[in-house]
Chain A
């Protein structure tokens, strides 16, 4: 077993175990902190897939932005005097059965499909190529996403202020 395999199993285990705790723990704040470890595990998987730029963006946007936003959401939608911030669950048994069946079908499909695999050699850096693609092939999408972020900013601010 090479170091690459070992690192893969380490990060996969980190991702999946903490994702399991995210969806099963009853305390929302604990769930949010396990979500942090899930995001870190996904960052490790991106690095193993030779996507350094995506890994850094994931670290900055998810861990630094979205997770903090979710924690603010938890804090603002519960009474501060509530020491126990709990969440209830419902439809537990039917969803375990349904999700289990779905997962079985998904994994079975992915194992039995003959994917066309031809790995390219590992690049030294990906930021240059991604930047070139963003400003040539995907320039319209890039500009539209800029407008979308502006609209989301204005919309969220005006909605939360009302």
Chain B
């Protein structure tokens, strides 16, 4: 068994990223699509922190990970406000049934 190195973290983040894409593509509920986006952002964050640790590049990668977490928080708040408005107008949040821009 080889020691855990950079590749192990990269593969974990690749699988997490794929699960995120799978969730976004297949789920009907808009809140589930948001959960997929959170998985993808987490995968990107693992990559940033892993390269910061193993690339001897200082702490720039960790600062970027911090920025991504901040943007994810802002994105979740805005997206949920939009989802609530969609629910008010359509009485459901299934992304395949919401196909009217204006009635």
Q: A: which residues have CB within 8 A of B?
A: 1-2, 4-5, 8-9, 12, 15-16, 19-20, 22-23, 28, 31-32, 35, 38-39, 42, 45-46, 48-51, 53-54, 57-58, 61-62, 65-66, 69-70, 72-74, 76-77, 87-92, 95-96, 98-100, 102-103, 106-107, 110-111, 115-120, 126, 129-130, 133-134, 137-138, 141, 145, 148-149, 152-153, 155-157, 159-160, 162
Contacts and interface: CB of A to CB of B under 8 A. Distances in A.
Given A49-B50, A145-B67, A66 B73 contact: yes
A162 B85 contact: yes
B79 to A, nearest CB: 8
Nearest to A100: B18
A158 to B, nearest CB: 9
A95 B59 contact: no
Contact of B67 (A32, A45, A77, A141): A141
Nearest to A89: B26
Contacts of A100: 18
Q: How large is the interface on B (under 10, 10 to 19, 20 to 34, 35 or more residues)?
A: 35 or more
Given A1-B1, A31-B32, A90-B96, A155 B14 contact: no
B56 A89 contact: no
A143 B19 CA distance: 33
A69 B38 CA distance: 12
A106 to B, nearest CB: 4
Interface string B79-103: 0111111010000111010000000
Contact of A62 (B9, B31, B38, B52): B38
B47 to A, nearest CB: 10
B73 A65 contact: yes
Nearest to A5: B4
